[in-house]
Structure 1
Amino acid sequence: MKDEVRVSLVQFSSTVLDCPGNVKRMAEFVEREAAEHGAELVVFPELSTTGYIRSARDDAYAEHLYAASELVPGPTTEALGEAARRSGAHVVVGMSQRHPHIPEVLYNSAVLIDPSGDVTGVQHKVHPCRDEKEYYVPGDVISVFPTALGTLALNVCYDVRFPEMARVQTLAGAEIVVSLWASAVQPGKVPSDSIVSRCATRAMENAVFFLGCNRTGTDDEQRFYGRSAVAGPSGDVLARSDDDREDAVRAVLLGANLKAQRRYLTIFRDRRPELYGRVTEPLSRPEAR
């Protein structure tokens, strides 16, 4: 990866189903973060284009969500691609993506756009959570994407609870893992530091930079709590937000730190994959012990 990578995680507050308005504001964030803070990678949360989902029992909402979802490439990637060209930054955005051939089939996607304005990576959410299963087909490929910044990998919110995904991405060469969230305050609870702790854990386990960008704002009685974070290869927290304001969390990623951590703890040499087979055994095989 590059010696230094400047990143901005934008705790964006989406307006429900207002794709043109949301994308216009995101493009402004891209150009401002690049111009004022030198951002080379600008990240937006899960489903930033449409806002987070509501129950499919609301037929009117479900119909509008399908109508608001887009192809990739499409209007959102074209608009953010233009902002990327003007600013010279990479952009990662979460969006509701239409299947290219099958009507009314959607993916919950993280999309990577490079400074030329081209879409250079798409990762479909592998583990849809709760009501998301009513709308979104799970992804069946885990990918990494070479860039001028380093090799990037993408995952989406609930994916972070499955350490196997980040490990697969790291074994494929990932140096920076970008995780997009739309995490809301659970009823009867207060916002937690779960994003910070999970970023630090995934980073330390894999000796990678791990970036967790959560949204903010309210929608349909859901209050999204921000608290985005950036963790380094040793699990150290490089930057974090302690609130739910719409703002950016900024950090500088040093390539030398990744190299030093991998020299210090040789986790990839020390792995024992021949002992881990049970991790991939389906639950329907209880005899695998």
Structure 2
Amino acid sequence: MSDSRSTSKVAALQMVSTIHLSENLLRAESLVAESAASGATLAVLPENFALFGSKKIFELAAEEAKTGALQSFLAGLSVKYGITLVGGTIPLPAEDGRVYATSFVYGADGACLGRYRKIHLFDADVGDAQGSYRESDSYAPGDQLVVVESALGRIGLAVCYDLRFPEMFRGMLDLSMDIIVLPSAFTRNTGWAHWLPLLRARAIENQCLVVAANQGGIHDSKRQTSGGSVIVDSWGRVLAEAGLGEACVIASYDQTEQTALRRRMPVAQHRRV
């Protein structure tokens, strides 16, 4: 039997964000409040939670660099609801005129625990109404792996397309990662085909809890995301999962059970390459 003191609730928050900033922020707070009311001590917002599918990201990034308003908003939610919060992504200016997709983590006291800039950029043709995606036209890649200390353990930060690069997660495992969080906005075509298999693989091969918060609906005439926000345990079991639409996905994380699995099957110690 697991020790209840080692068990925590975690939440993946699924949104259908639009170009309307104020509405998106209201919906984000509502989901954070719902997760906290359900007993979650960690909540993850999706990629582009504050503004989706708009060239206004450059204006938002410039404003954020001046005021830090979204960062203050996220820190305030953490304090208000007493929760560790992974703030999806927000744009911040890059040196070359593009922006970084930046994910901040805040502790329940509002302190910033860390910041990650999305490394892998989605430049692909997927055969949907949008057709071609060229994130690198607007976004600059980050270049650092980030694992932050939290009340629930060490959290490894990744965003959306990063999921397809297993070596990145091995690098974070070398930094003593316990939990993978993955704010995302997977396209409908790629998400329905690959999202869950890839998440389960990352959970199994790294023996980590995965909390993956996706966008999940129709955003405009061309953009549809795949939903399916999910929590997967270190054995690869799906603990809780959403369909499409806004959702608050809650599950329990047993850190003692995960540690015991790693002792019984010490995969990380067996690596030779």
Q: TM-score, normalised by structure 2?
A: 0.87
2:230 maps to amino acid: A
Partners of 1:28 and 1:236 in 2: CA distance: 28
CA distance in structure 1 between the aligned counterparts of 2:28 and 2:219, rounded to whole angstroms: 18
- Structure 2 counterpart of 1:40: 41
Whole-Å Cα distance in 2 between the matches of residues 227 and 81 of structure 1? 26
Q: Displacement, 1:95?
A: 2.4
What is the rounded CA distance, in whole Å, between the counterparts of 1:195 and 1:212 in structure 2?
A: 10
The whole-number CA distance in structure 1 between the counterparts of 2:248 and 2:160 is 18
| Contact map agreement 1:77 1:113 (CA 8 A) in 2 | no
The runs of 5 or more residues in structure 2 that have no matched partner are 124-133
Let me know the Cα RMSD of the aligned residues: 2.0
Identical pairs, percent: 27
Tell me if the contact between 1:199 and 1:230 (Cα under 8 Å) persists in the aligned partners.
no
Of 97, 117, 129, the residue aligned with 1:124 is 117
Deviations 1:10-65 (A, max 9, x none): 1111121x333322321232122202x011111111111111x4xxxxxxx53x22
Deviation at 1:178, TM superposition (A): 0.2
Q: Quick one: distance in 1 between partners of 2:254 and 2:173?
A: 17
Which residue, 100, 104, 111 being the options, matches 1:107?
100
SS in 2 for 1:257: helix
SS in 2 for 1:235: coil
- Secondary structure of 2:188's partner? coil
**Equivalent residue letter for 1:118:** A
Question: Matches of 1:228 and 1:193 in 2, distance apart?
Answer: 14
Name the CA distance, whole Å, in 2 between partners of 1:162 and 1:33.
29
Q: Are 2:178 and 2:208, in contact at CA under 8 Å, matched by a contact in 1?
A: yes
- Kept in 2, the 8 Å contact 1:23–1:76? The answer is no
Higher RCO (C-alpha 8 Å, min separation 6) = 2
1:80 counterpart = 2:74: yes
Count of matched residue positions in the alignment of Structure 1 and Structure 2: 256
**Of 12, 20, 23, which residue of structure 2 is paired with 1:21?**
23
* 1:1-289 to 2 correspondences below 5 Å: 3-16=6-19, 18-35=20-37, 37-51=38-52, 53=53, 62=55, 64-69=56-61, 70-71=64-65, 74-99=68-93, 102=95, 104-130=97-123, 131-186=134-189, 192=192, 194-220=194-220, 221-241=222-242, 243-273=243-273
CA distance 1:72–1:96, change in 2 (3 Å): farther
| Paired amino acid for 1:132 | E
* TM-score where L is the length of structure 1: 0.83
- Give ranges in structure 1 of 5+ residues lacking alignment: 54-60, 274-289
